[in-house]
Structure 1
Amino acid sequence: MKRLNDDKRLNEDTRTFQGGIVITASKRNFTKPLFSTLAIAGVSALVLTGCSGGNGGDGGGDATGADHEMLDYVINSENTTTEPILDALANNQCQAENEAQPLEISGIPQAEIDAQMQLLASQGGLPSMFAAGGNPAEGEKLWDAGVILDLDEAMTELGVRDKVSDAAVSTIEKLYGGEFNFLPFQYNIEGFFYNTQIFEENGWEVPETWSDLMTVAGEADAAGVTPFAASGEQGWPLTRLVSGYLFRSLGPDAMQKIADGDAKLTDPEYVEAAAQIAEIGDMGYFGDNVASLDYDAATNEFLTGNAAMIYMGSWLLGNINSDSNQIGTENVGFMRFPAVEGGAGSIDEYPSNVGLPSTFSKDAYGPKTADWLKCITENFGNEAIEQGQITGFVSDVEVDLPVISETIKDEIEGATDSVLWFEALFNAKASSISSTNAALLATGQMTPDEFMTLVQDALDNP
């Protein structure tokens, strides 16, 4: 694999949030950025008026494009998980493909990806493969302009469509315009991790309903154990509970109705979900310092045995399987977000995300690139699991995983449908207001009506 950034240098550790995904990474400064900062100034709202092949989203799956000399792949520089897998594939399972079209990876900051890809698309100069930015609406624009590949069609033609999990595809479709047009190099399901030792000592069964969950929370509080560890400083771990309740009470389209304007967050049934989370805070079930806890501190509360449960995604496995876990991997269980009695949602619908997925340029999709797509799809899941990562690709190799990691792997591979998260379809303003005010909701400094009104106003007035 040819690296465009061999002379990158490592700086201080950083933490980046990708739709709720937490990646502990090292900052990487790339010496050959695609554009200078000046070149992308003012293009964040660029409309793809000059794109070739604008065909209403019919990306096509035929390998009729013009292969680039290199398989040039632009990735967000904060991502430290995807490149090692592709590197291994280029040197092993995909060696022939790499010799025919060498893989060349370059990185740019996540915050710049959307603007740069929109600009490149308007100039007909997209790289062969590139990561999505942080705003799914920008990826949907590229699809609507007809400049990215129809992966469903392409992978079906290559005979590898079954190598991507149905749940991951479901998540991508919900995020990017209803089509399978991005690859899930990352995939996370969400739910409650719980301390199995505490549960067993107190005789608690895994809650399957919201009422059962609140009963366990009350008994944990009475026993001197914090029921739920949560980060109020980040905010999104609290709003995840709001949307989880909404999906179980109103059904999987609860937040899509908000995005489409068919419902308002100020409607009584939506305010009720916020009220449920406010009640958890009022009862003291988040502990005494939820507003000041950051992500690491909340995680530490759970992994040191001070909290019985934590709502989080499968990215937490990195912490669970590390030396920082003082309760031991054998004492960590995973349960789905419980059902709401009489609700329209199903406990089988996992809240999930795909991090920053990647896609292919339609114009650059020729026979050599098609060979790469086939090889990546056939082998990415297996190579990832060998490296201890669980992705949206199917893996069929036997790997000795910790029990909790095996549980998550089985849950992902058995899942068929998914739901998103509270801010997934919000504009940037509403997303920021939601996360920054969530702690006020949980601590009683803002009423459920006030919280939902504030976020709805941001949606109505971006």
Structure 2
Amino acid sequence: MKNTRLALVSTLAAGALALTACGGGSGATADGESHEISWLLSRPADGSVITVVNQLADEYAKDHPGFKLNLITTPDRPSYLQKYETLATADQLPELFDTDATPFTKKLIGQKKLVDVEDMLKDLGLYDKYRPQALDYQRFDDGSLYMMPFEFEMEFFFYNKALFKKAGVEVPKTLDDFAALCGPLRKAGAIPIALDGQDGWPLERYVAYQPFRLGGPDYLNDLKKGDATFSDEPGAKSAEWLSDLGKNECFAEGFSSQGYTDARDQFTTGKAAIYQIGTWELPSIASTALPAGVKDNIDYFTLPTTADSVTQADDYTVVSGIGTGISSKKYDDVVKDFLKFLLERYPAELAKTGHLTPVADVAPVIPDDATPLYAKALGEVDNLGDEIAFPWDTQLDPSTNTLLQQQLTLLVQGEDSPEEFTDRMDEALSENAPKFFD
């Protein structure tokens, strides 16, 4: 195993060196001299973010002969993390690289391998333009900021008003009202909640809700380090709640084998009554191309509270995507100048694609084929509270998180009791968290 890892380090490091050599090294360059900047990516190469970045890099290159942005794309998350950590260990990270606020990245910061993004944005005169929530999503627990956000999305529960009316149910006022909706919706012929069960993270969103309302962000911060347990009141309440959702058949039969498009299609064709997803799906949910009986009946509600909520109704899940780190070793005049150009132009260009941006003073352009829901949903950005319900898959150690996604399916399917679920998760947490957050 040791020899295999050394071989992998050598191979990836050699690749990184080859990219650097191809780009002519770092530092300011004269006109016509080659200077290639590389970005190690863990996001879709054909998504809005990279499409806009590519467009702007091409524009920058026209006025800076010899400049080129090289994108190294590895959309498979586990493969990406292996490549990222191997290059970092070999001290061969490219100029830009996608990363989260993990303990591994924190170690790199201790080794002074990342640029302080807060200092950089202030130096570029851009810091005050960013939405606080977009930056806060990228921060470490100590408040430090070493990742750039390139996205900003809010997550809602979209629902079909016609199916609710047919079933005689109303929007849940609290989280505890959810389970009671499912029986009437099923009797009315609807799937109560559309869910992508294959990918793990959509169901993991649900496990975060009760704890966020009952314990606020502090519970998750303590839980991930092993200073709290799944058996504590917020976690135990969540397990009971999810078990109740399963007993009341809230999700589609066979949900664990359904993918992302399956869940979305169930909702957009009028088969499912509720679909929890982010504003990135508005082009599909708020489109005039939807069936006539669906497009005019879609609305949304935000994360319901609970009787004992410590967070407010306007506090819920907002995300600014995976962050981008900047290599301090390669942060020269060319990288700085390109980032200044990119970050000044990027928000307006992203807004043209119909997306919110991490910058607050740029309004998204609503597509011509959008229903009124599109603008209404994006308008919630002006009503956000101060607390963020962080997705658990971005916070827990990888081993505990993998088990959690597996155990959640068993819990909802009734194969595990809430007590069995919390016991198994606490055992895994006690073993994994101290090693990861050491």
Query: TM (normalized to structure 1)?
Result: 0.77
- Would the aligned equivalents of 2:317 and 2:390 in 1 still touch at CA under 8 Å? yes
Structure 1 residue 86 corresponds to structure 2 residue 53: yes
Aligned partner of 1:29 in structure 2 is none
Aligned partner of 1:131 in structure 2 is 98
4+ residue runs over 6 A deviation: none
Whole-Å separation in 1 of the counterparts to 2:213 and 2:162: 28
Give the CA deviation at 1:264: 0.6
1:37-436 equivalent positions in 2, closer than 5 A:
39-40=7-8, 66=27, 69-76=35-42, 78-81=44-47, 82-92=49-59, 94=60, 98-99=64-65, 101-108=67-74, 110-132=77-99, 136-174=102-140, 178-199=143-164, 206-320=171-285, 325-326=290-291, 328-394=294-360, 396-397=362-363, 399-401=365-367, 402=370, 403-412=372-381, 414-415=383-384, 416-436=386-406
Query: 1:116-151: CA deviations, max 9, x gaps?
Result: 444444454432212227x83332332232211111
Name the stretch that deviates more: 159-168 or 121-130.
121-130
Aligned partner of 1:30 in structure 2 is none
Whole-Å separation in 2 of the counterparts to 1:126 and 1:83: 19
The answer for unaligned runs of 5 or more in structure 2 is 13-25, 30-34, 433-438
User: Larger % of helix: which?
Assistant: 2
Q: Cα–Cα, structure 1 residues 347 and 77, in superposed 2: closer, same or farther, change >3 Å? A: closer
- Would the aligned equivalents of 1:385 and 1:395 in 2 still touch at CA under 8 Å? no
- Would the aligned equivalents of 1:206 and 1:335 in 2 still touch at CA under 8 Å? yes
Give the CA deviation at 1:173: 1.3
Whole-Å separation in 2 of the counterparts to 1:455 and 1:67: 52
Whole-Å separation in 1 of the counterparts to 2:88 and 2:255: 44
- Would the aligned equivalents of 1:165 and 1:413 in 2 still touch at CA under 8 Å? no
Q: Cα–Cα, structure 1 residues 162 and 223, in superposed 2: closer, same or farther, change >3 Å? A: same
Structure 1 residue 438 corresponds to structure 2 residue 404: no
- Would the aligned equivalents of 1:380 and 1:393 in 2 still touch at CA under 8 Å? no
How many pairs does the alignment contain? 404
The answer for unaligned runs of 5 or more in structure 1 is 1-35, 45-64
Give the CA deviation at 1:222: 4.2
Aligned partner of 1:12 in structure 2 is none
Whole-Å separation in 2 of the counterparts to 1:449 and 1:340: 22
Secondary structure at the counterpart of residue 433 of structure 1: helix
- The percent of aligned pairs where both chains have the same amino acid is 24
